[in-house]
Amino acid sequence: MEHDFGTSQTGSITPRVNTAEIWKIALEQVQLHISPQNFSAWFKNTSLSGIDNGIATISCPSSFAREWLDSNHHKLITSILQKILQQDIEVLFAVGPSQQDSGASPGTDRYETMAISPDEAPIFNIEFTHQSQFEESQNRAFLNPIYLFENFVVGSSNRLAHAAAEAIAETPGRLYNPFFLHGGVGLGKTHLSQAIGNRVLNNDPNKKILYCSSETFLNEMVESIRNGKTTEFRQNYRKLDILVIDDIQFISEWQRAQEELFHTFNILYQAGKQIIFVSDRPPKQIENLMDRLRSRFEGGMVADISTPDVELRTAIVRQKAQEKGILLPDDILDFVARSVDDNIRELEGALIKIDTHVRISGEVPEEADVARILEVDAASKRRKTSPRDLIQEVCATFGVSIRDIRGKRRTADFVVPRQVCMYLLRKELELPLEQIARELNRSDHTTVLHAIERVEAKMEEDADFKDRVGEVKV
């Protein structure tokens, strides 16, 4: 990748940076600080129109939005941009045309929900691109074409969910119905559920699919009641071949919507149509849910996506880097995968942040730079300790030599510390299983898995042993 850097009159670097990318990262950060409603209402159709001599100009869709943003979010935006750009920034708001699709960063579900909330259209002139597509074809509904099976990386934490999703996409309505997919934030639920829709449409463009959030379902229901159009509302949902409702956990807040959904469900189900629910928690943990709805949710296949292990994170980081044309050395990519450990959306954000840094500084960052950019603790144990150091510490704690630990002898004196090494290399350094096997001179990774289980079990039953493991300085 070629970086193109220019120099301004003041002598400071004025890179021709990709403002759309920067704004996308900034928006991801903004979302962490304000409510989804506010975010949708005020940041839609904003863009970063330029950075010049330390002045960042944010273009807003209306003077109303400009004033509101200026008086309410000036500080927040300034500090976020300063962090991203690592320089002093003054922020100005201006009314102007939004640049391309800058507001609609992929992967931000809120936009997807937003696009079908007609209430807000008059104020901000939201473009109903998806909606018009839907009207034209009557089939494709609010699916983001970037969410595909082809770019979904499979690992142990999502293997089952992925297999089920793929099977459903090939024979919708037959195998697992309903499909209830749950898991924490940013772990790929929306991606996977939309991949089903995209695959189905790819196989048969005549299929009628709707992807929506439970909020949309509610809003449309309320709207239809207000306009006396409940029949149309029902027909719209009930004629579908596939219905995907995301963030279904929110349905519990509205009794009436639950009832409506229950009937819609029954009709679709009896007609052999596929229903997919996506939630941040399993049906059992959704409070205030009608029993009969809960039992429907549980009546098909319930699958979860759990937090990704380091192998999966590494694979995802590498794939995303490739997808986005980000060229960073493997050790830096691996460092990112090790440092950002619980959310794939953040992993992506981290990657983009580093890439932006590279574009601005023109230098390939060192691990310490990356740590600073990501605001992870560079001195934190996990990142500093080498596998060698860790093994040495275990040896010191258990009074054995490295040679013994890496050797063949299988007496308890050696086996136990050897297993502790494997356990800590995994838990603290999050090394891939294969690498752990190599570090300890073992032939394959099943030995490592076994060792981890043994140590966990032993720690549970033997408090002294647990303390000893805890004493190892990592």
- Interatomic CA distance for residues 153 and 320, integer angstroms: 10
Site string for ligand ADP, 341-360 (x = CB under 6 A): ---xx--x------------
The label of the residue with tokens 């196989």 reads 203
User: Considering CB distances under 5 to 8 angstroms, the limit depending on partner class, which of ligand ADP, Mg ion, none binds residue 349?
Assistant: none
What is the size of the binding site for ligand ADP (CB under 6 A)? 18
Within a 10 A sphere around the Cβ of 185, how many other Cβ atoms? 12
Tell me the window of 62-70, 146-154, 230-238, 369-377 that interacts with ligand ADP (CB under 6 A).
Answer: 146-154
Q: Which residues in the 109-128 window bind ligand ADP by CB under 6 A?
A: 109
What is the closest distance, in whole angstroms, from the C-beta atom of residue 3 to ligand ADP in the complex?
25
Q: Is 107 in the site for ligand ADP (CB under 6 A)?
A: yes
CB of 44 to Mg ion, least distance (A): 18
**Upper half-sphere CA count for residue 231 (Cβ side, 13 Å):** 1
Q: Tell whether the torsion through CA atoms of 65, 71, 73 and 74 is positive or negative.
A: positive
Helix, strand or coil, per DSSP, at residue 399: coil
Instruction: Between 181 and 416, name the residue whose CB sits nearer to ligand ADP.
Output: 181
Comparing CA positions, the residue from 144, 154, 156 lying closest to residue 191 is 144
* Interface with ligand ADP in residues 292-321 (CB under 6 A): 316
* Residues 367 to 426 in contact with ligand ADP, rule: CB under 6 A: none
Whole-number Å distance between alpha carbons of 197 and 144: 9
Residue 437 Cβ vs ligand ADP, minimum distance, rounded to whole Å: 25
**Residue 359 site contact among Mg ion, ligand ADP, none (CB < 5 to 8 Å, cut-off depends on kind):** none
Q: Is the separation of the CB atoms in 155 and 311 below 8 Å?
A: yes
**Positions that interact with Mg ion (CB under 5 A):** 109, 190
| Residue with smaller CB distance to ligand ADP, 105 or 236 | 105
Asked if residue 179 lies in contact with residue 275, where contact means CB atoms within 8 angstroms, the answer is: yes
User: Residue 19: how many CB atoms within 10 A of its CB?
Assistant: 19
- DSSP, collapsed to helix, strand or coil, labels residue 6 as strand
Nearest to 262 by CA among 101, 254, 385, 2: 254
- Please report how close the Cβ of residue 186 comes to Mg ion at its closest, in angstroms: 8
Written as six digits, the tokens of 133 are 């597509």
Contacting residue, 189, 199, 273, 353, with ligand ADP by CB under 6 A: 189
Task: Please report whether residue 157 would count as binding ligand ADP according to CB under 6 A.
Answer: no
Considering the rule CB under 6 A, would residue 27 count as an interface residue with ligand ADP?
Answer: no
Six-digit token string for 68 = 């509101």
Q: Which does 153 bind (CB under 5 to 8 A by kind): ligand ADP, Mg ion, none?
A: ligand ADP
Beta carbon of residue 323, minimum distance to ligand ADP (angstroms, whole number): 9
- Other CB atoms within 10 Å distance of the CB of residue 361: 15
Is residue 31 a contact residue for ligand ADP (CB under 6 A)?
no
Tell me which residue of 8, 58, 10, 13 sits closest to 359, measured CA to CA. 13
Shortest distance (Å) from residue 110 CB to Mg ion: 9
- Closest contact distance (angstroms) between CB of 278 and Mg ion is 7
Cis ω on the peptide bond leading into residue 178 (within 30° of 0)? yes
| 152 in contact with ligand ADP (CB under 6 A) | yes
188 near ligand ADP, rule: CB under 6 A: yes
With b for 16 or more beta-carbon neighbours within 10 A and e for fewer, the 28-59 pattern comes to: bbbbeebeeeebbbbbbbbbbbebeeeebbbb
CB of 109 to ligand ADP, least distance (A): 6
Cβ proximity to ligand ADP, 104 vs 459, nearer residue? 104
Inter-CA distances, 448 with 383, 386, 391, 404, 426, Å: 21, 18, 14, 17, 9
Residue number with CB closer to ligand ADP (189 or 273): 189
Measured from the Cβ of residue 145, the count of other Cβ atoms closer than 10 Å reads 12
Q: In the block, which residue shows the tokens 């060792």? A: 451
Residue 317: what residue type?
A: V
Q: How far is the CB of 109 from Mg ion (least distance, A)?
A: 4
Q: Which is nearer to Mg ion, 81 or 245 (CB)?
A: 245
Q: Which stretch binds ligand ADP (CB under 6 A): 151-159, 225-233, 370-378, 466-474?
A: 151-159
The residues binding ligand ADP (CB under 6 A) are 107, 109, 151-153, 158, 183, 185-191, 316, 344-345, 348
